[in-house]
Amino acid sequence: MISPVRWNGPMDTAPTSRLPRRPTLSDGVVLLREPRETDVPAITAGAGEPSVAAYTTVPSPYAESDAVWFVDHVGESWAQSKAAHFAVCDASAPDQLLGMIGLHNIDLDGDPGGTAEIGYWLSSAARGRGLMRRAVRILSGWGIDELGLARIDWVAAVGNTPSRNVVQQCGYQFEGTVRLGMLQRGQRVDAWVGGLIASELIR
Ligand SMILES: CC(C)(COP(=O)(O)OP(=O)(O)OC[C@H]1O[C@@H](n2cnc3c(N)ncnc32)[C@H](O)[C@@H]1OP(=O)(O)O)[C@@H](O)C(=O)NCCC(=O)NCCS
């Protein structure tokens, strides 16, 4: 049983963004917080793992300068209301980044409700403990409750069963295969697609 999510931050609106000020989110086991400059070594190592390159659109090989750029981009894309990225941590060690999760392609103009796409990775040492499942539940709940999202898209390279398992455990529905539906470092690959309707989230 996952305990109720605690919102640990001010929820007023930032002056330059339609997103609220970035909160720290936690269910008591997993904690999601702002990625910082001190995370650069952990981001470089985690995003540089071959399994992350194989299934995501991160640069490969992944250099420290990519992580530096990413941490900058996180603040910028939040200010532009385009994306909400969070460092994934164990709640008992909130300074140690284990992975990354985010909502991107945020569109808040729908009526009723906006849309976004979820993405994530976890360093291999942190896998197999259900941490990402918790992180997806926490972030999806925040997106629905605080951003008013009506739907969250999930897109994965065909064959990414670990990712499919994660979202399905959170209430996302598998919706099919889109041929050449994913652009990965300049190459089109077939994609599995799915999504979460706000009322379907397993909290
Ligand atoms: C996708 C990814 C995050 C999944 O990682 P993961 O460790 O399998 O996911 P979780 O943290 O939710 O853990 C779930 C696993 O922990 C196991 N587990 C162990 N204890 C658990 C617990 N207490 N609660 C829930 N699950 C638990 C589950 O059984 C499951 O393992 P299984 O799939 O072998 O059954 C990881 O494989 C990854 O980073 N891949 C590369 C990047 C990527 O593909 N990103 C997604 C792009 S769409």
Tell me, using a 6 A CB cutoff, whether residue 88 lines ligand 1.
no
List CB contacts of 105: < 8 A, sequence separation 6 or more. Answer: 82, 83, 115, 116, 117, 153
pLDDT at position 12, please? 47
What is the count of structural domains for the chain? Answer: 1
pLDDT along the chain (203 residues), means of 10: 47 68 97 98 98 96 98 96 98 98 96 94 98 98 97 98 98 98 96 98 96
In this structure, what token pair is assigned to residue 113? 């409700």
Domain that holds residue 58: 6-200
pLDDT at position 4, please? 45
- Among 127, 131, 137, say which to mutate for ligand 1: greatest number of ligand atoms within 8 Å of CB: 127
pLDDT at position 76, please? 95
| CA 77 to ligand 1 center in whole angstroms | 27
Tell me, using a 6 A CB cutoff, whether residue 56 lines ligand 1.
yes
- Does residue 1 form part of some domain? no
Q: If residue 174 lies in a helix (H) or strand (E), which one and from where to where? A: strand 173-184
pLDDT at position 5, please? 52
Tell me, using a 6 A CB cutoff, whether residue 130 lines ligand 1.
yes
Task: CATH number of the domain at 65, please.
Answer: 3.40.630.30
Residue 107's identity, in one-letter code, is D
pLDDT at position 8, please? 52
- Does residue 24 form part of some domain? yes
Rounded Cα gap, residues 10 and 177, in angstroms: 40
pLDDT at position 1, please? 38
pTM, to two decimals:
0.93
Tell me, using a 6 A CB cutoff, whether residue 192 lines ligand 1.
no
Handedness of CA 146, 166, 160, 93 (dihedral sign): positive
pLDDT at position 2, please? 42
Give which of 120, 35, 106 is closest to 71, Cα–Cα: 35
- Which letter does DSSP use for residue 156 in this model? E
Classify 190 as helix, strand or coil: strand
Neighbour count for residue 29 (Cβ, 10 Å): 16
In this structure, what token pair is assigned to residue 171? 């209430």
Tell me, using a 6 A CB cutoff, whether residue 122 lines ligand 1.
yes
Residues forming beta bridges with residue 153, ordered by sequence position: 117, 195
| CA 156 to ligand 1 center in whole angstroms | 14
